[in-house]
Amino acid sequence: MNRFFLFLSGLILIFLSGCFFGSLSQFSDEEIVGKENLIPNSGFEEGTYHYDTLPEHWLIVNKPNFEIFWDKSNGFEGEKSLKIQNPSEEINLFSDAFNIDPGAIYYSRCFVKSNQPNATPVTLFFLAFNLEGKKVNRFASKVIPGEEWTEINLSSGFLKGDALFGRVVISFPKNKNITYWVDNVETYEVYKLRKRWSKR
């Protein structure tokens, strides 16, 4: 009887957690009205402008030459965007780190486009790290961009208890025939989970 009860309890927990995880994908732009965007320089507008440099608060590890440009003529909102031209390898664009609450749920989004239709997706990641800089959570969402600006959105939650800071990463696939643009990279805390009981 005890084994059956444990088995049944496990199934209920799996079902409930599945329902709650499923709800994460239902967040939308309505959830961010009036909330603070946690991504520094999310629209690539800040900093001293140079076409062949990265804007402030953004990083690409092993940045290739003649493939990443700070574009001043093709923004989604505002004047500027980041341009990834004919990438010869996968390129991962990292935001600066921002503080997170492990008891919160986050909604992230960015806007991407390409110079022509293609079949390879761009991926938006939300990564959570602990105090030592170890990655403890990873969430991802993909979209295949076209010639018009397309939104990638991602909901992230149920973080590990030691998650203290996050980064968003936009990953562009290797494709020597395609040029990509990205703009308005944003993350918002949309909901905070509350404990319904406490230890005594």
List pLDDT tens digits, range 101-148.
Answer: 999 999 999 999 999 988 899 999 999 999 999 999 999 999 999 999
In DSSP notation, 134-196 reads: -EEEEEEEEE---SS-EEEEEEE----TT--EEEEEEEE---TT-EEEEEEEEEEEEEE---S
**Which pTM was predicted?**
0.83
Most confident among 22-26, 33-37, 66-70 (mean pLDDT):
66-70
pLDDT of 175 higher than 90: yes
- Out of 2.60.120.260, 3.40.50.720, 3.30.1490.20, 1.10.260.40, the CATH code matching 2-191 is 2.60.120.260
Cα dihedral 9/13/19/24 (nearest 10) = 170
| Measured distance CA(8)–CA(3) in Å, rounded | 9
Six-digit token pair at 192?
Answer: 């905070």
Average pLDDT, the chain: 86
Structure confidence by residue, pLDDT tens digits, 18-28: 333 334 555 66
Helix-then-strand count for the chain, H and E: 1, 11
Domain ranges of the chain: 2-191
